[in-house]
Structure 1
């Protein structure tokens, strides 16, 4: 049986979209291929023409998520600069929707346990983000890459803490403190 042109690409995109949401929302280890394929509206057997393994799917989802984040950073920098990017990242909406948010904040402990190929892809894409932020820092910044690394560490850590604590009031304070710390890092 022949399918219309583009169907395979559409199926692959749907699998990646559903998988990315599940991985960020539930975690990599807690997400099974059967639930991904079911939610994508496909059979389990339809997985393997698209991906060799779950690890390959994870790797591609991580790469796509960080590429998407690079686009979001570019938009934020173009429209409001680093301060706007910080405020958007450490917002209640981002905290409350991990399945649509930053893959780093949702998945870092699990990415650290993934095969070296996945960690290498993560590292390459992450450094692209670091370079974007370091290029947007004031010209008099002494160590732009180090500052950008500090900003990411602050943002990701603050978001993870804000998601982990019990209670919105404390969580909101963590987001605000993280944003203040990140803004302080980018001051010349």
Structure 2
């Protein structure tokens, strides 16, 4: 039996997570099988179970990882004084729209997550709540409850607009959706 370098297991798990994350966001969770993920990872199907107990376990891990990365961006923006307007404009950009495989997991996967087991939805809910709290903290005005209400509206506007902009096959309409939603989200956030 071959011995692997220290950290090999963690590196392999990370590799599987990255591939699954890209494939899930690009094609949808239901459309992606474990065989496709493992094939792209250059591993056997049996090796999957060394790292995850099931596809649902992988889905949860992918969601937590991708949402933690997005949460870290919000934390960095908050710590560095980046205006919420910048976050909104970056999110609702043609570049983000065109890169679903590496973009926001919420916009790419929310409709599917609604049909997953409670444990997966609980993980998703916790991370979304954290992101909403960080967005509320970026808002300069209003009580904590008011900023939270506005952050929920802003985030829902952003996610929904990104989903619509990806779904339509008219480029002009897609760009209108992004631009108009960005204006609406900034208005909701109290940005000038």
Q: TM-score range by the shorter chain?
A: over 0.9
Q: Is 1:74 paired with 2:66? A: no
Q: Could you say which residue in structure 2 is the equivalent of 1:43? A: 44
Pairwise CA RMSD of aligned residues? 1.2
Q: Could you say which residue in structure 1 is the equivalent of 2:25? A: 24
Distance 2:107 2:128 in 1: 12
Query: Is the contact made by 1:76 and 1:84 (CA closer than 8 Å) also made in structure 2?
Result: no
1:33-55: CA deviation from partner (whole Å, max 9, x where unpaired): 00000111111111001000000
Q: Could you say which residue in structure 2 is the equivalent of 1:171? A: 174
Query: Is the contact made by 2:108 and 2:163 (CA closer than 8 Å) also made in structure 1?
Result: yes
- Runs of 4+ in structure 1 off by over 6 angstroms are none
| Greater CA drift, 139-148 or 55-64 | 139-148
Q: Could you say which residue in structure 2 is the equivalent of 1:154? A: 157
Q: Is 1:145 paired with 2:175? A: no
Alignment of 1:36-115 (within 5 A): 36-77=37-78, 78=80, 80-115=82-117
Aligned residues: 188
The unaligned stretches of length 5 or more in structure 1 are none
The unaligned stretches of length 5 or more in structure 2 are none
How far 1:186 sits from its partner (Å)? Answer: 1.1
Question: What TM-score results when the alignment is normalised by the length of structure 1?
Answer: 0.96
Distance 2:171 2:141 in 1: 37
Question: What TM-score results when the alignment is normalised by the length of structure 2?
Answer: 0.94
